[in-house]
Amino acid sequence: MNRQLENKRALVTGGSRGIGAAIVRRLAREGVHVAFTYVSRPDKAEETVQAAQASGVKALAIKADSADAGAMVAAVEKTVKDLGGIDILVNNAGIGVFAPIDDYRLEDFDRTMAVNVRAVFVATQAAVKYMRDGGRVINICSCNAERVPFPGAAVYAMSKAALVGLVKGLARDLGPRGITINNVNPGPVDTDLNPADSDFAKILMPFMALPRYAEGDEIASLVAYLAGPESAFVTGASFTIDGGFVA
């Protein structure tokens, strides 16, 4: 690591495991002091804290439900207080409830939108108040914002497609301050919630150009680029990293 992000301060939502934990670890290796939110599995949160601290940075786990707007604002404020500021926000927390429209519950619709869309807006609104010029906002979106080749994913896809419009608009709002905002759109990633050896993976694999799932570290590498100085002219964009899922 060239540690171009040495001593930056970051908040990663949903950072205790999976893609989020990979992002926390990668930012830590780049020299970033990092806070992250989690909802359950405090044991996983502590593992991620220790992994980040092993890179010689400060690390902080904050229990906060992304569906709770007040908790999102409080997480940003605790990050600023404990780390001395915030330079990078990674909106990673997300949920997916899959069901055909005839069976889709309104409460699942509302929670999906609260976590996948409203929380991104709330955390971003709170964070940019504290960011210096040149800050970074990165949303973990999904390739399903562009392609949905199986039934039951309409609401999830809609929630992720909303982020495409959000970053285009906020790029205009934040551009005068040199703050960039972009989406990372992963395809299937090997995590404990979506393992590469699951029955669901057997459904997805035929859609791939590269016949495998991604590793979390591969997604984290793109996040690290967008968080760094070399991406200063990149904003309002969505970057697909999906093994050819939407090709």
Query: What radius of gyration do the chain's Cα atoms show?
Result: 17
Catalytic residue from among 38, 104, 130, 156:
156
Catalytic annotation present for 156: yes
Q: How many Cβ atoms from other residues are within 10 Å of residue 228's Cβ?
A: 16
CB of 219 within 8 A of CB of 163?
no
CA–CA distance from 95 to each of 3, 158, 198, 228 (Å)? 31, 12, 18, 27
Angle, CA 173 vertex, CA 169 and CA 19 arms, to 5°: 65
Task: Detail the DSSP E strand segments found in 4-120.
Answer: 9-12, 33-38, 59-63, 88-91
Q: Which of 138, 31, 35 is nearest to 89 (CA)?
A: 138
What residue type is assigned to position 188 of the chain? P
Q: Tell me the catalytic residues.
A: 156
